[in-house]
Chain A
């Protein structure tokens, strides 16, 4: 599951707050299961946010990012366009979601 918080509309030049959360265990690779076996690392490595096709914010994650990664950041509204939020895990699997920002 992915949760996105982004305004639907903004005025040109306005700075908007964006929030994104994705369900993911961010398994550190340091924990052991009930049989004493190490649980393999399984983490999201990259977060990327593009606005009108341009990268506006990127994050590289290490095991120190908490489970179900949560981020807030900002963007300057310029024109009506899609904002895309995407996450890529260490195996290359990618999840994404889009929101349309209408700028007046």
Chain B
């Protein structure tokens, strides 16, 4: 505990600013690297193994659900999104997007639940349920290898700014901003780990810490808990905004979901 507090103090001192926000640092575009780079070779090999990567248990589940006609007889996802009609290959690399119907930002999970309500007359799936994680993983897997690029023009701009704001906001008992680890100190050691740049391109991902598969929002909740700040709700507008900011910040990085992380 003492060591962690000392670390927090050290990191806040490195921030060089005593205000509410950390300094507006940036990773040079040519230095942007996936969290994959910072993993042990065995963990990288697990992600790269299309059989042994446990994330594929969820991708398989999602693919089954995607093609299955729901019990109510409503059309399956695949009835609208066939290979030759509104195909979903690559689209996850461009999420989150603005939802024209509600004027709100939505990620893949929110899009899936909106589709269920609007086109399938089904109840939304619970956050972190196998079904929602599976469908999200399946859709994200269709964008594997596609470089991330998102639109932050127009009404999305406000979300982008809000996400950026959260990223640089110092918070929690450790008074740390996301940027202080992931912009200012990536590549350095923090106990046994090498600090990553904090990109979301592997998510939803299998985390060994969780011993299961989880969403980017679950990861963000862990980051917030880690700095002893209050985690926000799954699907909250702020986490959606952070997701957009992270995607813009990671632009050009290839999608890796289903990723494997420590």
Contacts and interface: CB of A to CB of B under 8 A. Distances in A.
Interface residues of B, number: 11
B51 A1 contact: no
Nearest to B60: A1
Contact of B52 (A1, A21, A67): A21
A67 B212 contact: yes
Interface in B58-72: 58, 60-61
A21 B211 contact: no
A7 interface: no
A26 B54 CA distance: 14
B76 interface: no
Interface string B46-58: 0000011010111
Task: Summarize A's interface: helix, strand, loop or mixed.
Answer: loop
Category for how many chain A residues contact B? 10 to 19
A5 B50 CA distance: 11
Contacts of B51: 3, 5, 19, 21
Contacts of B56: 3
A66 B60 contact: no
A21 B58 CA distance: 12
A25 interface: yes
Contact of A21 (B54, B61, B130, B212): B54
26 contacts: A1-B57, A1-B58, A1-B60, A1-B61, A3-B51, A3-B57, A3-B60, A5-B51, A19-B51, A19-B52, A21-B52, A21-B57, A23-B54, A23-B57, A23-B130, A25-B211, A25-B212, A26-B211, A66-B211, A67-B211, A67-B212, A68-B57, A68-B211, A68-B212, A70-B52, A70-B54
Interface of B: 51-52, 54, 56-58, 60-61, 130, 211-212
